[in-house]
Structure 1
């Protein structure tokens, strides 16, 4: 099931406690552009199909990553792309966006997404694996 644009952004806005939908949209665009660079093949296409069209296109036409970013480097990259962000606020942004993405994707697809990512992304998606402590 695809979430509508307004519903997706409202969910991100609530989770991120943003004052405006524009702030939620900025976070979603940056996080999904970075995430898309890490995903390939059917998993990326299936995830895009569960997102609003504008965000799906961002996921499918990502920033190019030379190498997979660890969760820490992903956080730093997000902070660098969001004006005025710190690593702490970027972590907040990532959590708001990726937990919304995980809910839209469902458990099975989220698990397949996580298999394509370096260890530790389960926490960014708000889906800590058993036995994994932050």
Structure 2
């Protein structure tokens, strides 16, 4: 997926006023997501993202343990200036739903196997894919 198409999709889904807001959300969410993925799935997902976002996914923030969805959203709100847990949930869903589209069903299924239960909802895929 190309940079502009990815950013446009995040901006539209997140209803952000600017591409800058969409990019800030994407960078934060992908850095946190990358800390939870390993191996082939992380590399394969990165290959489907624009290069800048792929590098963020491949060089993530460090996580001591996998975060459940609530803690993932809280961590996102901590990294985005002025965010609340409600706005961070919106940010996470906007970014991860675009990531899910880029990944496709097979890769997304494998990614979800690496994450704690409940992430399917954050990816906008409430039913198992």
Shared fold (TM-score, shorter chain, > 0.5): yes
Q: Kindly state the Cα deviation for residue 129 of structure 1 after the two structures are TM-superposed.
A: 2.1
Q: 1:78 aligns with which of 71, 76, 98?
A: 76
Q: Pick the aligned partner of 1:21 from 12, 19, 27.
A: 19
Where does 1:1-134 land on structure 2 (aligned, <5 Å)?
3-129=1-127
| RMSD of aligned Cα (Å) | 0.6
Unaligned runs of 5+ in 2: none
CA distance in 1, matches of 2:127, 2:15: 25
* SS of alignment partner, residue 6 of structure 1: helix
SS in 2 for 1:65: coil
Distance 1:79 1:107 in 2: 28
C-alpha separation in 2, matches of 1:108 and 1:97: 19
Could you report, residue by residue, the CA deviation over 1:16-71 in whole angstroms, capped at 9, with x for unpaired residues? 00000000000000000000000000000000000000000000000010000000
Number of matched residues? 128
Inter-partner Cα distance in structure 1 for 2:8 and 2:108: 21
Query: Aligned partners of 1:107 and 1:15: how far apart in 2?
Result: 19
The whole-number CA distance in structure 2 between the counterparts of 1:43 and 1:62 is 14
